[in-house]
Chain A
Amino acid sequence: MASLKDLRNRIASVKATQKITKAMQMVAAAKLRRAQEAAEAARPYAERMDRVLANLSAGMAGRSDAPALLAGTGSDNVHLVIVATADRGLCGGFNSSISRLARQHINKLIGQGKTVKILTVGRKGRDALKRDFANRIVKSYEFTGIRQIGFQQAEDISRNVLELFEAGEFDVATIFYSKFVNVVSQIPTAQQLIPASVPADAGSSVDLGGAVYEYEPDEAEILKDILPRNLSVQIFRALLENVAGEFGAKMSAMDNATRNAGDMIKKLNITYNRSRQAMITKELIEIISGAEAL
């Protein structure tokens, strides 16, 4: 049985931990709000981009001169898997569930005899995949020093991906990230980036009043211009969802930790009081039996 001093020390240390987790939870809540605002603000651009793209690609469907970014290279032997996770841990199963989904996908592709290349965004994803697929990782990104992820970062990644694509390094690109549903639920998701997956019904929502779009320069040129941009936008969206998801997960993880610490303090307090009482009783008995013996 632990001595009273040991118990007191443990209670103090658990209390200190609880304070830290509580603070982390509040920080995560504040950051989550910011991340949600950023995701919200980015939505108009992405929506319009989707609409325009759907409009354009409907016209290009089936044409032989459709850009490779839209139509694909014609084969699917080499896959690029982009795994976007957080840079920091302590957010429950957030990072591991993304890596798990990515790992399953990679193993499936390898099983089918495809070549897989991996690009990781975020430190945790790289650490998780390094163990099994170290030689397949072509590039890793980290944003540890950046306070808020901006379009700049997404552009950097997409430029790199495009360079690889143009050099014929891969045929199909898929990004793994976590879709932010709400604070307690983030769903690891896979989204195909190249060839671009176009939302089916986004284009039909624009009513042109019977008129037809005039294209300047022409459809194919615009599409060529837009597709790389679309890639950046899709990556940007995934990154923003990820940031929001990370803080959501962190918030609920830290909330749990705070509650557990509270339970633990309660239990330790009971033990402490009991042993203190037992000690007092013991001393009393000793005094009384000492007096009786006289």
Chain B
Amino acid sequence: MAEKLNFDLVSPERLLFSGQVDMVVIPGSEGEMGIMAGHAPVMSTLRPGIINVDNAGQPQQRIFVRGGFAEVTPAGLTVLAEFTVPLAELDAAALDREIAHANEDVADAKTDAKRQAAQEKLDHLKQLRQAL
């Protein structure tokens, strides 16, 4: 594979990752998306999930993200995420905290639309928890 994708992962506190990779799979709110070099410009919100970073010759990096969005431009992919943790460091306890967090969101939601969104997040997290 000749062309590489510029991938930036940014959290509010710092730039977490910036470099050339082959492919990144991001958990878009409408489904998983695999982004490679030359992808059409896209802007998408993210649901809580796992980002897979593929780079030839290196082990795959898996990073858990919550809350954010992704932007693809001809210059590369930028993921803005509020909360990130490498999957290797993510354990059941951390995920349980996330689930508790999501549970609160469901309980706090005032409108039906919000409750539904929060519920979807919660279900997704539970799936992740089972996969772990």
Q: Residues on A close to B: CB < 8 A?
A: 38, 41-42, 44-46, 48-49, 52, 55-56, 150-151, 154-155, 166, 206-209, 211-217, 221-222, 225-226, 229, 232-233, 236
Q: Which residue of A lies closest to B110 (CB)?
A: A166
Q: Is the CB of B14 within 8 A of A216?
A: no
CA gap between A187 and B15 in the complex, in Å: 27
B10 within 8 A of A: yes
Whether A233 lies near B12 (C-beta < 8 A) is yes
Contact in complex: B74, A208 (CB < 8 Å):
yes
> Is the pair B74, A209 in contact by a Cβ cutoff of 8 Å?
yes
Bitwise, B1-42 to A at CB < 8 A (1) or not (0) is: 000000010111111000000000000111000000000111
A232 to B69, CA, bound (A): 15
Q: In chain B between 52 and 104, which residues have their CB closer than 8 angstroms to a CB of chain A?
A: 67-69, 71, 73-75, 78, 80, 82
Given contacts A208-B74, A216-B29, A217-B29, contact A41 B43 (CB under 8 A): no
What's the minimum C-beta distance from B65 to chain A, rounded to whole angstroms?
A: 13
Considering only CB atoms, which chain B residue lies closest to A51 in the complex?
B71
Residues from chain A with a CB closer than 8 A to the CB of B40 are 211, 214
- The answer to whether B69 touches A52 (Cβ under 8 A) is yes
B119 contacts partner chain A, Cβ-Cβ < 8 Å: no
Which residue of chain B has its CB nearest to the CB of A232? B12
Shortest Cβ distance from A237 into chain B, in angstroms? 9
Could you write out 28 A-B pairs with CB less than 8 Å apart? A41-B14, A41-B15, A42-B12, A45-B80, A48-B71, A48-B78, A48-B80, A49-B80, A151-B13, A154-B12, A207-B74, A209-B74, A211-B41, A213-B42, A214-B43, A215-B43, A215-B44, A216-B30, A216-B43, A217-B30, A217-B44, A221-B45, A222-B43, A222-B45, A222-B69, A226-B45, A229-B82, A232-B82
In the complex, the answer to whether A38 meets B13 with C-beta atoms within 8 Å is yes
Q: Are B12 and A151 in contact (CB under 8 A)?
A: yes
* Assembly CA distance A226 to B71 (angstroms): 12
A221 neighbours in B (Cβ, 8 Å): 45
Bound complex: CA A208 to CA B42 (Å): 10
Bound CA–CA A45/B13 (angstroms): 8
Closest Cβ–Cβ distance, residue B41 to chain A (whole Å): 5
